[in-house]
Amino acid sequence: MRPSTALLTLCYLVPLVVASPLDVYQRNSISIPLSRMSRDTTIEDVKAHLTTVSYKYDVTSRNYALNTGSPHSLSNRGPPYKLGERSTGSLTGDGNSVPLKNQSVNLWYGSIAVGEPPESFTVQIDTGSADLFLCSVRSGLSCAGHREYNATSSATSLDLNTSFVVKYGNRTEVSGDEYTDVVELAGYKAINQTLAVTDTYYSDFAASNAPDGLAGFAFQEISSYGAAPLFQTLCDSHVLHKNVFGLSLSTQKDKSELRVGGSNPSMYEPDTLTIVPVTVKGYWQIQLDGLSRNGEDMMVPTDKAQAIVDTGTALIVTKPENAVKYYENIKGARAVDEIWTVPCDTIGLFAPTLTFGGQLFPVSSSTFNLGPVHEGSTDCIAGLTGMPGIGEHWIIGDVFLQNVYTIFDVGNTEVGFARLKL
């Protein structure tokens, strides 16, 4: 992805010594390609994206409390971040792979098949949420241009006679009815998978060229309707060789994919694979050991900093105080409503390095630089930003994930990072 391309629209860490990790993640996996559509990034895009991200975590943290009976540490985050209304201004190795694309701002998406006979739908692959949403044939204009799910056309569809509403702030983003049906991902079939069939549709998907829906790959604890996510259903069905999926969100053409049932060791350096445990099951939440800039420790409180690995978030997000500290000694850096800009001729010098499990994982200058503030500007948008109400949590999004191969191990509730092969 070019620097001017949009990135926008999840146990405390104990270093593990892993013998022959490829034997664990390599066999019998299938990949699906992931794709992404690019466009120029603007400050307003980033603002709108962060508003959506904040609302998502408001909803999912409340879901965690409802589903588990205990508050998540994000539950005390205060009101959702808001900057006005939306602005106008192949995983191989151990399973099957799906190519991923990126649509619009932050949406990495691939294909699934639903029903009998099966129909193909494109869905956002979101490790920061847990639900499966598709358009209903009753949704009208909000689903114009999308493939719509028609329960009466599927011999395996079952109406659960349960309605749902998901609100972001004061507005309804998703509402409709719950069904179960057969959902196929990379050739694997999830039988009786719960899905939300929406009458009012998620506004980020309203554009006709957006994906048809969303597939959450986090844990059931943050589900809006308390049902097993798609990948968990596959795990529970014992159809996978390993209860693992791997992700490559590469800047290189045809190098982005979701690998189901394992990882793709041809895409990463095996000796750099670092595996860390999930600290709180719900999100893909792990401990962040540290963050540095040009070798200078940015004083991340390692006994408290929790990182949520989230393909549905474009940037690296932290509390505003951490962002101020990160940029305070950079000449020409300034904040525009929490969005930081740095002179384009020097921004590449200030990309961060994150530490997980004692391993350093640098962010490239090209992914850290989201492009000029506007055409002809000498200032560029930086990929690390502040967001109020996040507490000691860090959201680790696309800016970081494009630089690593990520393995999500559901069976062992742990995350692995490895450096991509050049």
- Which residues are designated catalytic? 126, 310
State the alpha helices, DSSP H only, in 175-254: 230-236
DSSP H or E run through 60: helix 43-68
Tokens 């191990």 locate to 409
What is the helix (H) or strand (E) element at residue 275, kind and residue range? strand 274-277
Angle at 143 between CA 181 and CA 195, to 5 degrees: 20
DSSP state of 344: T
Look up tokens 């009815």; give the residue: 177
Cis omega (within 30 of 0) on the bond before 117? Answer: yes
Kindly write down the DSSP assignment for every residue of 123-186, as one continuous string.
EEEETT---EEEEBTT-GGGGTTS--B-GGG-TT-EEEEEEEEEEETTEEEEEEEEEEEEEEET
Rounded CA separation 207/229 (Å): 25
* Percent helix, percent strand, percent coil in the chain, to nearest 5: 20, 40, 40
CA pair distance 276, 115, nearest whole angstrom = 36
Which H or E run contains 282? none
**CA atoms within a 13 Å half-sphere pointing along the CA-CB vector of 39:** 13
Cβ atoms 250, 256 nearer than 8 A: yes
